[in-house]
Structure 1
Amino acid sequence: MNAPLHTPAHIASKLTIRLLLALAATALLPACSKKPDNAGLASTTPAPASVGNSQATPPLTTPAEDKSSQAASKLQDYIACYNSLDGDTHRSIARYRSWVKDMSNGPSGKEVVVYGLYKIDVDHISRCKASFAQTAKASPALPRLDAAAESYINALAELGALVADAEQYYSRENYKDDAFAKGRKLHAPLAASMKTFEEKSTVFSDQIEAENDQSLDAEMQRLEKTEGRQLPYLHMAFMSKAKQLMRMLGEETFDAVAAGKLLADYENLADETIAYVKKNSDSASSGWSQLERKTEDFRKAAKERVRRIRDKQAYSEGEKMMLKPGSAWMVDGSQEKVMRAYNDLIEASNRLNR
């Protein structure tokens, strides 16, 4: 009798997750820092040893730490472009598919509503393509990630050019003058390019996540061992737990008991971090209050999502009408709402680490 809990396929096919900037070899600066050029970031590189004797000064970092720092820098370059372009691209694809009902054949010319597509910043794509070429050459070599990045940006560049042409055609309503002739001509290469991009986007995202997980885990272990449970460690720890939780909650269905345990772990770490900052207010940068607010928003959205699945709560008729691009995030317990809250959390965290 109850309606299914699933989100419509055209929504759930791609829920774009913003990625946490690589945090290896970084920590949060106190708010009183006098280094505006590095606001929100501080190296965890050990301070130079005392001088005054004839012995050589020990190196500032170990080779392993240098490699970790270099890998983190590469990840940041890749993640920054992914975060700024991927979501907009998927939204443009979703907009096109929302009114082109038959993606095999394209526009029929009989559509009642023609939404066109959203613009994609082709100049930004070009800048990222040039940046990726340099990043891939940097050490250390990360073969799988570097290859995935190249495939991703090439697919995005191809799609970006096609979208620019199609967006102009539809926004100017030229289809009213040529009976959709150009729209039908554009469709096949556009649909094929969309499909290729989505495939490359998934591979690239997975490779970034794999490298970033490894980097974050190593840095958390180092920080906990050398500094204890201070803010740099706690920040990484609760963001890492948020990522694990989001991976589960982003699925169409999941084990509510397991999700509840992950949620409890996230809440405990978030509460420990918030309590630490209250006791050590000079330990956090000025952007901490925004991150704390987004932490609470994600906590609430995650609880709603877990309850929706745990209680087998079907979407009402009104909610089902809202489960579409642009409004699904307003539905309590939906994948889109918790995803939006998570992405906002990631953005707030990334601002502290730029």
Structure 2
Amino acid sequence: MPIRRILFGTACAAALAAAMPLAGRAQVPAPSAASAPTGEAELQAAITKSNAYTALMNRTLRAIQSWERYASWVDMKKGPTGKERYISYGLYSLYDVTGEIRKAEEAAARDPKLPEIDATVLGYIKAYQELAPLITRAERYYDRKDYRDDDLAEGRSLHAQMVPAAKAFLDQRAKLDAEMRVYKTALDAQELAAIAQREGKSVRWVVRNVMINARAVIDLMPSNEKPVVDLKAFDAAVANYAKAIREMDDFKDANPGKSLFVDSQASSWLGKLRDFSAKLAKSKGDVRRGAANDANWIVSSYNTMITMSETAIRFPR
């Protein structure tokens, strides 16, 4: 599922469908039985739809990063004044997401029908399309230092438009994050069961099991919005990840010479998670008290693991 944005000056996002970004923790109902895939064809259709939505979320994460850069130097209540020390920071330019939007819109119209999520995705696209042109105009404005010619007139006008547009976009993002996390968790369990039925606990099963549990840890990592970690939930997720690593070890012991590509990185990641957890325990879960660098390393390493896991599944040896 995606990509995370962490932490305090370093925004980091996995660009593949195995990651899931986290921008909010709204409570949403579990997927209904009607939305659960009932066969292989239905499961693959559900995975395709989920991947289309995730690709859109990952690619549009750039808008959040750009907005955070803007918020790092401007007073959000007052707007730009021209006296800001870091006004030259401006905003990040956005990525072209035309293809991702088209695929997500097409996915929303296809089976399996997910009324709540499909509607949220379309609302998210609308909110993005309202914010993105404003960010692009602002990025050019500050990059070219046009504010020196108009005494920040356009900058103030853009600020007044961007603030409500950004709020609407971030609200839709948080809602979509929460809904997709619940749905993807159920989908992951069904995918693992289908692989086990079809192949047994194969390379594909072992790697997917590791990455599903890794993502569960990532979903609980701190963010700028929520810098204090739920230690009990985090430690439980790490314990589940450790179990997946032990299952990977069992597979390697039973299949000497089989390459998993991701195994060394995944094992090292577990050690780093345990170090990180120990630091968090000392700070009562607050990542700002000495563990931010560890958090950024964990996310960066996770992104690397995603690429390795895709290779392992695509080219099993």
TM-score range for the pair, normalised by the shorter chain length: 0.7 to 0.9
Partner residue, 2:105: 133
* Separation in 2, partners of 1:346, 1:203: 24
Letter in 2 for 1:299: L
Q: Please state whether the residue corresponding to 1:111 is helix, strand or coil.
A: coil
Which residue of 280, 289, 310 maps to 1:309?
Answer: 280
Check 1:196–1:281 CA distance in 2 against 1; reply closer, same or farther (3 A cut).
Answer: farther
CA distance in 1 between partners of 2:13 and 2:174 (Å): 11
SS of residue in 2 equivalent to 1:99:
coil
Q: Tell me, what secondary structure is at the counterpart of 2:206?
A: helix
Q: Does 1:216 align with 2:188?
A: yes
Aligned position for 1:85: 60
Taking only the aligned residue pairs, the percentage that are identical comes to 25
Q: 1:261 to 1:197 in 2, by over 3 A?
A: closer
1:212-242 CA deviation, whole Å, 9 max, x = no partner? 1111111223334554433222222222222
- Residues 1:314 and 1:257: Cα distance change in structure 2 (over 3 Å): closer
Q: Kindly indicate whether structure 1 or structure 2 has the higher relative contact order, using CA contacts under 8 Å at least 6 residues apart.
A: 1
Deviation at 1:159, TM superposition (A): 1.6
The answer to whether the 8 A contact 1:14-1:90 is kept is: no
The match for 1:292 is 263
Aligned residues: 288
1:21 alignment counterpart: 17
**Residues 79 and 198 of structure 1, relative CA distance in 2, 3 Å threshold:** same
Does the 8 A contact of 1:248 with 1:259 survive in 2? Answer: yes
CA separation in 1, counterparts of 2:123 and 2:12? 18
Residue 104 of structure 1, CA deviation? 1.9
**1:182-193 residue pairs with structure 2 within 5 A?**
182-193=154-165
Cross-structure match for 2:73: 99
Residue from 282, 300, 304 that aligns with 1:340:
300
**Separation (CA, whole Å) in 2 of partners of 1:255 and 1:207:** 20
Q: Is the 8 A contact 2:16 2:58 kept in 1?
A: no
Shift of 1:119: 0.3
Once the two structures are superposed, residues 47-82 of structure 1 have per-residue CA deviations (whole angstroms, 9 ceiling, x without a partner) of xxxxxxxxxxxxxxx962221111111111111222
1:266 is aligned, of 241, 244, 248, to 241
Deviation at residue 11 of structure 1 after TM alignment:
5.3
Q: What is the deviation of 1:349?
A: 3.2
260 and 212 in structure 1: CA distance in 2 versus 1, 3 angstrom threshold: closer
2:94 aligned to which of 120, 132, 136: 120
Q: 1:110: how far off?
A: 1.1
Structure 1, gaps ≥5 residues long: 1-9, 24-61
Q: Assess if the C-alpha contact under 8 Å between 1:249 and 1:305 holds in 2.
A: no
Deviation at 1:156, TM superposition (A): 1.5
TM-score when scaled to structure 2? 0.77
Q: Does 1:76 align with 2:46?
A: no
Which residue type is aligned with residue 72 of structure 2?
A: S
Which residue of 263, 276, 285 maps to 2:251?
A: 276
Q: Distance in 1 between matches of 2:162 and 2:313?
A: 37
TM-superposition CA deviations, 1:176-198 (whole Å, max 9, x none) = 12221111111011122111111
**Cα separation, partners in 2 of 1:215 and 1:94, compared to 1, 3 Å:** same
Q: Does residue 66 of the first structure (1) align with residue 41 of the second (2)?
A: yes
**Structure 2 stretches of 5 or more lacking a match?**
1-5, 20-36
TM-score computed with the length of structure 1 as normaliser: 0.70
Residues 1:247 and 1:76: Cα distance change in structure 2 (over 3 Å): closer
1:199 corresponds, among 156, 171, 177, to 171
Instruction: Classify the secondary structure of the residue corresponding to 1:248.
Output: coil
RMSD of aligned residue pairs (Cα, Å): 3.5
Greater gyration radius:
1
